[in-house]
Chain A
């Protein structure tokens, strides 16, 4: 995957301008943290990259075909197990053993076959992370991936995540500079439109 180049991106919701002539370059094979105050358009930018929102104008080049994501909410199928949730996005490209190993590495050993609705908030978050990591996407979009995780778990998850996503292009939204350090990430500042 080549660098992801965003040029002159504009987006409005009614009268509210969310992105105005926003430009940035996301380096391929690196983790880039997008940081900025609430309401500055971080999630909107991610949604545009994921194809969930249309930009009013501007260009994006280097966007790969396949993207995987951790959304702000977990967005898991609650009736199904962690393994089923992951298999839903990976299909047969990842074996059940690999899924089990990944879940275990994220501290979910013993909970792999439990319906997700029975898991705690932190466990659900880790299932969502495991799903994004195992999915085939060349670009990983992570919207506050460590939300709801305690400090110890966050560090353990970040270490495992870095190992598994090495060499992939990652764009991560966070409010916490410590998380950018934890992920050895480049930092991209976004400002409120005045």
Chain B
């Protein structure tokens, strides 16, 4: 019964996608101006060719490794800072202005300021790092704060070492917060990272491809590269979250 309902929902979603594509195609045909609105069929045709171009894989790899690198660094540092702030509450107050500033300053300001200090090739790592860090920190800290006090008391009475507390008590309780942080920040890291590349225009990046498409008014390319970014971002998000969930499942079998 549940399976049938899930299949029905999937079908409904698929139908919604088809309807949106049909509306997009109709609008493009009605407008008949490729520069203003590329049709989905022309984007699809371009996608069929674009991946065979010599620079395609290197451009995707260039952006992927930097954005994912920034995300990974932020994930590690965000978790570490949250653990420290959980252990020493004074650090939470100390970190507060930094994280509040990162969360409220527009990403474009950070990109422009960072360009003074960093090369354009380093920019997307830093910007994706900067956007992800406060999300991971805030969520994981919230998870640590919500740890069941009674379980901590149990660990105190039985004198459980902190490494075991980490695996058996803290990680399972932080898990939903960490997964939620990753889910929220993965898409954001791609959006911010690509925005940084469009402003910094590092050679051989997806951002450069998007910039060129805009400069030469090549709307079909612009749409095609946007589709590629969305696909890579979603695929990485799904893969990464599946790996995290698998890791936690393995942990539970200890």
Contacts and interface: CB of A to CB of B under 8 A. Distances in A.
A68 B168 contact: no
A67 B159 CA distance: 9
A80 B153 contact: no
A119 interface: no
B157 A67 contact: yes
B254 A77 contact: no
Contacts of B156: 51-52
Contacts of A89: 158, 160
Given A73-B150, A75-B151, A80 B157 contact: no
- Place the interface of chain B in its size category: 10 to 19
A80 B154 contact: no
B150 A115 contact: no
Given A66-B159, A80-B168, A88-B164, A75 B154 contact: yes
Interface of A: 50-52, 66-69, 71, 73, 75, 77-80, 84, 88-89, 115, 135, 137
Given A66-B159, A115-B252, A75 B168 contact: no
Contacts of B251: 79
A110 B4 CA distance: 34
Nearest to B154: A75
A117 B181 CA distance: 25
Contacts of A84: 168, 254
A50 B157 contact: yes
B150 A51 contact: no
